[in-house]
């Protein structure tokens, strides 16, 4: 398998986490989610987590200075020796430039930037209907994945909650912020010839097949 250094872009609710796991398993690269890193930091109430929490709750992007350090540290971990898949970073043009500078300093370059596109109204329905088990983290949806007993997790009987960043008003704000700040980023990678855009409104399997086919073409498989 070729050495792959990948970025996965897409708005909140586009299914990046699901696709990242599948890409990681097939192409043997570790999925690295900045979202998961921040959620863990918030749960543990670390200094970084407490700073990030106020931005996330407001549906705003976490400032670059809070993100760059943790990403660099993660990319130095031993499991990235054969490549990586960044999910949720970079989100802004300055972050993209900083990442390019970091990789250039190591004599490396990106392989591809996967961009999952989904209509905003579909994303609002996906996210505002999501419910999370506060005990085990199980994910449900009021339309597409209902629990058997209202408000109770099927797996552990924990209480289902709606995360504050899944409230409809917050979701719409998150999507607006994402669009405004990442449009230049998408253009940046398009001009660099790295962008691989797929339709995220398809089924999970179809989205993955489009991604996998595009990656294989890029590495000559």
Token digits of residue 75? 């990319």
For residue 30, give the nearest of 13, 6, 2 by alpha carbon. 6
Active site residue 163: yes
- pLDDT at 221 (0 to 100): 60
CA geometry: angle 12, 13, 16, nearest 5 deg: 85
Rg of the chain's alpha carbons, rounded to an integer?
A: 18
Token digits of residue 105? 């300093």
Active site residue 91: yes
- Rounded Cα distance between 99 and 101, Å, is 5
Three-state SS sequence of 30-89: CEEEHHHHHHHHHHCCCHHHHHHHHHHHCCCCCCHHHHHHHHHHHHCCHHHCCEEEEECC
CB 199 within 8 A of CB 207: yes
Token digits of residue 92? 């802004």
- pLDDT at 62 (0 to 100): 78
Catalytic residue (one of 39, 74, 91, 126): 91
pTM: 0.79
Catalytic residue (one of 39, 126, 131, 174): 174
Catalytic residue (one of 39, 74, 126, 130): 130
Active site residue 16: yes
Active site residue 74: no
Q: Which domains does the chain have, with CATH numbers?
A: 4-213 (3.40.50.300)
What are the pLDDT digits (tens) for 96-152? 999 999 999 999 999 999 999 999 999 999 999 999 999 999 999 999 999 999 999
Q: Is 28 left (phi over 0), alpha (psi -120 to 50) or beta?
A: left
Interhelix angle 34-43/47-57, nearest 10 degrees: 110
Active site residue 216: no
- pLDDT at 2 (0 to 100): 63
Low-confidence spans in the chain with pLDDT less than 70? 1-2, 221
């Amino acid at each position: 398998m070729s050495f792959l250094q990948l970025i996965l872009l897409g708005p909140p609710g586009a299914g990046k986490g699901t696709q990242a796991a599948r890409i990681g398993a097939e192409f043997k690269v570790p999925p690295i989610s900045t979202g998961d890193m921040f959620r863990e930091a918030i749960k543990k109430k670390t200094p970084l987590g407490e700073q990030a929490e106020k931005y996330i709750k407001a549906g705003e992007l976490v400032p670059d200075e809070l993100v760059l350090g943790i990403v660099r540290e993660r990319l130095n971990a031993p499991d990235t020796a054969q490549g990586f898949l960044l999910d949720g970073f970079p989100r802004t043009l300055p972050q993209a430039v900083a990442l390019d500078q970091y990789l250039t300093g190591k004599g490396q370059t990106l392989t591809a930037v996967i961009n999952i596109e989904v209509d905003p109204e579909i994303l609002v329905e996906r996210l505002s209907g999501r419910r999370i088990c506060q005990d085990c983290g199980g994910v449900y949806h009021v339309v597409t994945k209902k629990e058997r007993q209202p408000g109770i997790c099927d797996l552990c009987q924990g209480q289902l909650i709606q995360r504050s960043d899944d409230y409809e008003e917050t979701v719409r704000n998150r999507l607006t912020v994402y669009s405004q700040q990442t449009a230049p980023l998408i253009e940046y990678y398009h001009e660099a010839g790295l962008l691989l855009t797929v339709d995220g409104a398809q089924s999970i399997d179809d989205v993955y097949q489009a991604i996998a086919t595009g990656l294989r073409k890029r590495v000559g498989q």
